[in-house]
Amino acid sequence: MSIWKYAKHWEGPPLAHAVTMGEGGTPLVRSTRIGPALGLENLWFKLEGTNPTGSYKDRFAAAAVSHLRRQGRGLCLGTSSGNTGAALAAYCARAGLRCILAIVEGAPEGKLRQMRAYGADLLRIRGFGSSSAVSVCVMEGLQDLARELEAGFEISAYRFSPLGMAGVETIGIELSEFFSGESFAVFSPAGGGGLTLAVARGIESFGGRARVHCVQPIGNDTMATALREGGPTVAVESKTAISGLQVGGVLDGDAVVEICRRMGGSGYVVADEAVWEWQARLVREEGVFCEPAGAVALAGVAQALALGELDARRQIVCLVTGTAFKDERSLNRLTGEGETRMTDDFTEFKREVRKLCLA
């Protein structure tokens, strides 16, 4: 029960109320090929896709649903573009709570199937996730509906669900414990900013020494440029195709800018095309099978290097937020849609292998 090891840091409920499947304690693995190719001596990947439902959102759901169980709730309302919904649906199933989710319009079908498999009820809302006005309306409306139904209300943002987001702070705690007083840098992908804020708060609570950098797709730049240039955070009409980061609203953005600036971090904005390229390299050069959002941090590292803003000797961590299994569009981009070839017998197989080796 890895996140419960640090329960005193995030004010977790008593273990008697814990809803857990062993979330947290995810691997931190050193880059073997990409780091050296970039001239980086100490590039690391925090593999959050190894959590029970395949993303860091299991830390959020474990904390959130445990608090709901303690409060005696029987229903959880929430929103999702994919990973949050899968995590909430799974942990609600384990706790015996009903789960009803408002779904972002562009959410991948693979992620929706996972939510339905856990028994969640899903309703997709047109414009949710792309239009900031629609997104604000949905979130505020859900909050009112939760009060009416005496339900739990869980959105992975401190603005709405601080008790659940506290569970995500364990990422920062785990990193601080691993580096044991040594200075390090964290590159975090951001949609609404909750992950970045949680990791930074976790590092501070544990007394870690780190700079936390915020990386966003160009089509959802609500806070990264504000952090970098000193301007205000802004709501946008989200145009990124990176699933999970299609938020558009500021949400935790102001708090992200404040804490990252205090910790010496900066903001980076990256193109979707660059994210897809780094996703492919992570798979083929490191064996890290991640969703596009999981490659955003690495795209930010590459940009920081190009700008001359990284010390090649520094310990650098990329948050790899989730597995690629859930996003079929992303998988098709990586692999194509062709079928695996069939050979008639082993003789033909040997002939084909020799051709491949000579190619």
Q: What pLDDT tens digit does each residue of the chain (359 aa) get? A: 589 999 999 989 988 999 999 999 999 999 999 999 999 999 999 999 999 999 999 999 999 999 999 999 999 999 887 899 999 999 999 999 999 998 888 777 878 899 999 999 998 888 887 787 888 888 888 889 999 999 999 999 999 999 999 999 999 999 999 999 999 999 999 999 999 999 999 999 999 999 999 999 999 999 999 999 999 999 998 899 998 898 888 999 999 999 999 999 999 999 999 999 999 999 999 999 999 999 999 999 999 999 999 999 999 999 999 998 877 777 778 777 677 788 888 999 899 999 989 97
Q: Do domains 2-55+165-328 and 57-163 have the same CATH topology?
A: yes
Domains of the chain, by residue range, sit at 2-55+165-328, 57-163
Torsion of CA 122, 128, 130, 132, to 10 degrees: -150
The CA distance from 46 to 32, in Å, is: 14
Per-residue pLDDT at 1: 55
Taking Cα atoms as reference points, which of 257, 256, 264, 268 lies closest to residue 302?
A: 268
Q: Are 297 and 319 in contact (CB under 8 A)?
A: yes
78 φ, ψ (degrees, to nearest 5): -160, 180
Euclidean distance between CA atoms 288 and 274, whole angstroms = 17
| pLDDT value of position 47 | 98
Q: CA 198, CA 206: separation in Å to the nearest integer?
A: 12
Torsion of CA 51, 30, 292, 113, to 10 degrees: -20
Per CATH, the number for 57-163 is 3.40.50.1100
Quick check: 198 and 190 in contact, CB under 8 A?
Answer: no
pLDDT confidence of residue 130: 74
Residue 261 CB burial class (10 angstroms; 0-12, 13-18, ≥19): middle
Edge to edge, what strands does the sheet with 315-320 contain? 28-30, 42-47, 315-320, 184-189, 210-217, 267-270
CATH number of the 2-55+165-328 domain: 3.40.50.1100
